Amino acid sequence: MGRVSGKVALISGGAGGIGAATAALMVKEGAKVVIADLAKNGPEVANSIGAEFASLDVTSEAEWEQVVAETDRKHGGIHILVNAAGIEGDQKNNSILSTSLAEWRRVHGINLDGTFLGCQKVMPVMERQKQGSIINISSIVSFFPTPFNCAYGSSKAAVQHFSKSVASWGARNGNQIRCNSVHPGLIRTRMLLNIAGHRAPELNNELAAAQNLAKATIPLGALGEPDDVALQILYLASDEAGQVTGSEFRVDGGWSLNIGGGRR
């Protein structure tokens, strides 16, 4: 208990999945948490765990500026930023040939631009403090080709690289602003269920069969849970990770050990 006691955490995409699990864990560990999301149930989720809620479209520069300024004004700083907002994109038209330019831009807008804006708008607050921890949620797919999910893969690979640039910037002028990326594998979230649902027609419309097919590729033999990723994020947010920056952390049960490039 108390691993982030006294810290202020801003979590985009905090109303569901990995973001919600992270928010709940950080509240439990002593942080003041602001969930920033567009989800209709966002205020309810925040209230249920003792967090605050702020409406945020992560693709809007103006809304990022407003949420960061209000959080800073109310709490006197922001010590932790978790960029957890993300989408998987259209799973029916997601190949190199079938992805539309509009869809490509939509996926990158949320997954990459949203992460960029979060880091950019929080950085001056952390520079004033001369310390902070930024955790960007990438994906295990950033490590291998994704010809059948090209927009998602590209956006998450870019988040991985961008996180290193943020880490390098954050260490300038004696600052202790750390940035790391976390790379979940097959985690039991809405996103995974949505992907599995689109695969289900190939498996006699059995969603359970699609999930079992996914599990069969994981060396540790089970889908991950949002809390598995939240615990990794908590470590990176805490002072325990004081010497950890510019690194990638896989939370995939060993899934990437078995993935061949481009298989579907």
Residues annotated as catalytic are 152
| Alpha carbon 50 to chain centroid, angstroms | 21
Q: Of 51, 115, 55, which Cα lies nearest the Cα of 85?
A: 115
Which amino acid type is present at position 100?
Answer: S
Eight-state DSSP code of residue 185 = -
Six token digits for residue 140: 């295990």
Which amino acid type is present at position 164?
Answer: K
Q: Long-range CB contacts (< 8 A, 24+ apart) of 191-195? A: 191/17, 191/86, 191/87, 191/88, 192/223, 194/88, 194/91, 195/88, 195/91
| Alpha carbon 248 to chain centroid, angstroms | 13
- Tell me the CA distances in angstroms from 90 to 143, 197, 226, one per residue in order: 21, 12, 22
